[in-house]
Structure 1
Amino acid sequence: KADRLRAFLRTFDEKALVFTQYVRTLRYLEGVLRSDGYRIATYHGGLGAAAKDAAVRAFREDAQVFLSTEAGGEGRNLQFARTVVNYDLPWNPLRIEQRIGRVHRLGQDREVHVVNLWAEDTIEAYLMELLDRKIHMFELVVGELDLILGHLDERQSFEELLLDVWALREAEERRAAMRKLGDGLVRARAQYDWVKERNEDVLGGVGEEATA
């Protein structure tokens, strides 16, 4: 995946946020990208507040790539960039949404680009099949995903459901369970869209009465 990341970064000259789940992976990528001549800012939970502020400042002023663990997906406004690369993908899709939210927020006046890297026949590939192809996650407004997943299962989180599927040993059994989970997501998205449309109709009617 590192070679795919390097190939992608060579295709444009804008700033990019690259997220990974592990500090070890972050350190590895830092070495790879520095050897390619990129100016890097690194951000992870082990840094103190001053070091975190310095990393954000370095990214804003000079660095081309902001390498971050999940710590960078919370509470930081980085809308001066518009490209997010998910080097690896957390099983909890709300954490993916948090990552994207660092650049896709108030003050962002450009189109946001999201790049996801994964290997075939991995749980990350299954995750993208479900989130991207089934419910078009990356077209949603921030906050909508949580509402959709709320219609999926009252007893288990999406992360737990995905883990149950991945734990199945037989490939055909796993594919069947994945199709079932995908169908559930499609129904959850349809239910959310129906509720959203009804709410918009109600609010629209209230607005018309108020202006009458």
Structure 2
Amino acid sequence: MSDKQIQHGRGRPRTFDIEKACLIGERLFRENGYDRVGVAALTEAMGIKPPSFYAAFGSKAEFFERVLENYAATNLPVESILQEGRTPAEAVREVLLFAARQYTEAPQAPGCLAIETARSSLDPQASQCARQAINAKFDSMRAFIALTHPLKASAVTDFVEVSLLGLSACARDGWDTSRVVEAAQVAASAAASVLRYE
């Protein structure tokens, strides 16, 4: 269910679109960082009252977890990239280039929400949630590469993670799309050279 019925004073309850609320939250968290977005800002942007927010999501941290699930599925769909028949080098290249474009597509909200939250949030619950989302993606990548390159899977996956951390940071620092994509292409070529031989 993506809608909730929320009572606004007297009269009939208004339908509250959960998915739309998550998109609003994603935008605010990406633009400002988790720690600088309060429930007041979230509810104002959603057009609801704090009690309705808590009824729908439980807490800001639980809402962020929901936002992050949606974000991870759409903004870095690693699992859909790691398909049978595709070589690890091809998959790594697509992941890096996809991420480079995603990190720079919205100048007012650059970088990766999960990476930047894990890196900079002072809230341990939010940071842990972001780190778990990141780890899940790289666990999938490591397992995929290990199918054909078991001896290099961990090193190449670690290299991709380091590359994505750097690409996100550079996007936050104001690098434009072409510059971030070019750096991603170099990283992809380096990974491909390592994967050329088992």
Task: Please give the TM-score of this superposition, normalised by the length of structure 1.
Answer: 0.33
Greater relative CO (CA pairs within 8 A, separation 6+): 2
Give the structure with the higher percent helix: 2
Task: Please give the TM-score of this superposition, normalised by the length of structure 2.
Answer: 0.35
Give the structure with the higher percent strand: 1
